Amino acid sequence: MVKRLSDIETGKNAVIKSFENNDIFLKLMEMGCVPGEIIKIEQRAPLGDPIAITVSGYSLSLRLDEAQNIFVEESE
């Protein structure tokens, strides 16, 4: 089932499927967020924004509005 990255629980893995907003697409691609890449939600700030993820072997911090533009599918 495809969900927004912002809706995935901390500690879960997911596979990037697509992006909603083309304006942010290039920025996310440059950071290693490409379709088919496995990411892990590492932690969330106390108020939920930003979130820390691991992608392509490194840690990345995303604002919640950026994470809402990434569609993912949870994986094991």
Domain range list for the chain: 2-75
DSSP string, 4-71: EGGGSPTT-EEEEEEES-HHHHHHHHHTT--TT-EEEEEEE-TTS-SEEEEETTEEEEE-HHHHTTEE
Please tell me the predicted confidence (pLDDT) of residue 24: 78
Please tell me what DSSP assigns to residue 76. -
* Cα within 13 Å of Cα(74), Cβ side: 10
pLDDT of residue 4: 93
Locate 9 and state its tokens. 């629980």
10-residue stretch averages of pLDDT, the chain, 76 residues long: 92 92 79 89 90 91 89 88
- Give the pTM: 0.85
Quick one: 2-75 is in which CATH superfamily? Ferrous iron transport protein A (FeoA) (2.30.30.90)
